[in-house]
Homo-oligomer: A and B are copies of this chain.
């Protein structure tokens, strides 16, 4: 689009020159015009005919008419203002009347003519705005005007800039979206033109970052277009700090050396059991890490059988990672030495920095590291695991079930929950990483690595904040095209109020910003710790569906109903079974069983009925995913069911049919073993819940849709 940036520049510079924060209405109008954002039309008429033509050109609706005369300052007093003038005759009369009034008021006044301004009303009132989020930077918002915004906060956010498609998605992103399409005889708005305003606004705030908040409120949208009736713009009067940024290549290089180190130094390595420096050494050695391990300990010649060095400078070879197990007060000095040795990554287990209120020490640490060319993981973390290298650089217990999921946590406690859950469920893991205070290395650095990492099929992250939400979204957008990213964002409800001077600013102090923007980045958000863990476990197990047709096959009618509820709750579409397929299913089930969807094979059926129907579900190419409901009976005991499902699914996969299959097992305790067996065989299965398997399938679908695979 062609924008008049120069015009905006001039307006903003003028305000900046006098340290003015709020633009005036005419300045706002100028800025809008420069970016092609429609504002109410206006023009100067010097004859009644011109006034009529102008009013017509302005859409034929009601207009306001005002005398334009340098000699008449109090227009209203002079009878020089008319509002709500509607129709050619009224405009003509109005023109004459204003002129006559002016003449009567001041007979010698020099009259330039009459200003004719469009009066907006009708259509849908919407709000379009932009604000500057602490983490995400420029964010645009869209919502319907009035009570829907004020009371129900029915708005949606996106990271700016947005393209036309994203802007259109905002129109669908509010609960009351139906209103835009016309309800009960109401006129549908021109969605393209409305979306266009969003695009232009998002370009505007992107091009001019000093625009801190911008409200178009209300915008009147109807079938003809969208016009911003009022604009409010607030600008930064102080220069904004730049965030440090690394390039993709820079991030990838350091992260690769962190995850595939040729050698690891342990600063504070110890022979004394119970010490963190001892646990880290043991885990590195017992975990089976094959690279060199260099203990650093000025008081010992060796630690756990490895030659120890007094200082990192003494290490003979090249080192990629230094793990710190020394008190906080020694960390800054050691980081400097690490930099001098050319070690690019420091893993800072020690606590005693910002988390204990010692912000100064952390700032000194960060500054030192930047100077020394060292990237920092932590401080205040348990360390990290990378199973493809048998690397357990942590003081916790080793973990060795290799697999496709990389998990990260901001909190140490959550990291321990990840470890315990993974161990008990035998979740195949590529990495577990603690981020702690995130003084430097952040989720976007890790995402950049995991996106490229062939050992990682899925990433799950617990986080409480994003230092740089924009960098995260950029990394996530690249990653989610290739593999699912699950995020548990803690602190959903404790964001607290932020000072805000505009409507949009006030709306943005909300978890909804995270919700919308993470979705925009293709992230699958988990709303509970357990969901994050189960998604992390299940997503790499499930193949990607090739379409939206989900079919439930159940032995328990009761489970079928609950599984249908769960499909609805998770945005899954139950396939409308075509007649031929319905007939094919019916051939296998008792006459009183229900085909349709759920397919209720009824409870008393033998294994052969489960087998035949599941096989059919796998083989028919119109079906894209299966949800199985099992009912424990003597006729088909749990392990018999599990083994037959594993067999049928395995045969299908061998024949190149790879559909996601999940299962809910209702029965006595044997269903627990059967569920585990199924999970081990690529079927995401759970006992005593109809919701969990569907939630995992739903998460896979959410990702597949966001990645454009459906």
**A residues bordering B, Cβ < 8 Å?**
147-148, 150-152, 154, 175-176, 178-179, 183-184, 274, 351, 355-357, 396-397, 409-414, 416-417, 419-421, 423-424, 462, 464, 488, 490-494, 528-530, 533, 554-559, 561-562, 564-566, 568-569, 590-592, 603-604, 629, 631-632, 634, 666-672, 687-692
Contacts and interface: CB of A to CB of B under 8 A. Distances in A.
A427 B11 CA distance: 71
Contact of A558 (B351, B462, B561, B672): B462
A667 B409 CA distance: 13
B413 A631 contact: yes
B592 A688 contact: no
Given A420-B671, A493-B569, A528-B562, 17 more contacts: A150-B183, A151-B179, A152-B176, A396-B668, A411-B557, A411-B558, A413-B629, A413-B632, A413-B666, A414-B666, A420-B667, A421-B688, A464-B561, A492-B565, A494-B565, A529-B562, A529-B689
B416 A632 contact: yes
A288 to B, nearest CB: 19
Given A592-B357, A631-B413, A565 B530 contact: no
Contacts of A687: 417, 420-421
Contacts of A529: 562, 688-691
A516 B164 CA distance: 41
A562 B490 contact: yes
Contact of A556 (B274, B411, B530): B411
Interface-central residue, A154, A420, A464, A491, by most chain B CB under 10 Å? A420
Nearest to A489: B565
Q: Which 6 A-B pairs have the closest CB atoms?
A: A411-B558, A413-B556, A356-B592, A493-B568, A417-B666, A413-B631
Contacts of A423: 668-669
Contacts of A562: 414, 488, 490, 528-529
B416 A666 contact: yes
A667 B412 CA distance: 10
Contacts of A530: 688-689, 691-692
Contact of A413 (B151, B494, B557): B557
A689 B413 contact: no
A178 B148 CA distance: 12
Nearest to A667: B416
A420 B688 contact: yes
A390 B153 CA distance: 55
A652 to B, nearest CB: 25
Nearest to A423: B669
26 contacts: A150-B183, A151-B176, A152-B152, A152-B176, A274-B634, A356-B590, A411-B559, A413-B558, A413-B559, A414-B559, A414-B562, A414-B666, A417-B559, A420-B666, A420-B688, A423-B669, A464-B561, A488-B562, A490-B565, A491-B561, A491-B564, A491-B565, A494-B565, A528-B691, A529-B562, A529-B689
A603 B412 contact: yes
A492 to B, nearest CB: 5
Contacts of A565: 490-494
Contact of A412 (B558, B690, B691): B558
Contacts of A490: 558, 561-562, 565
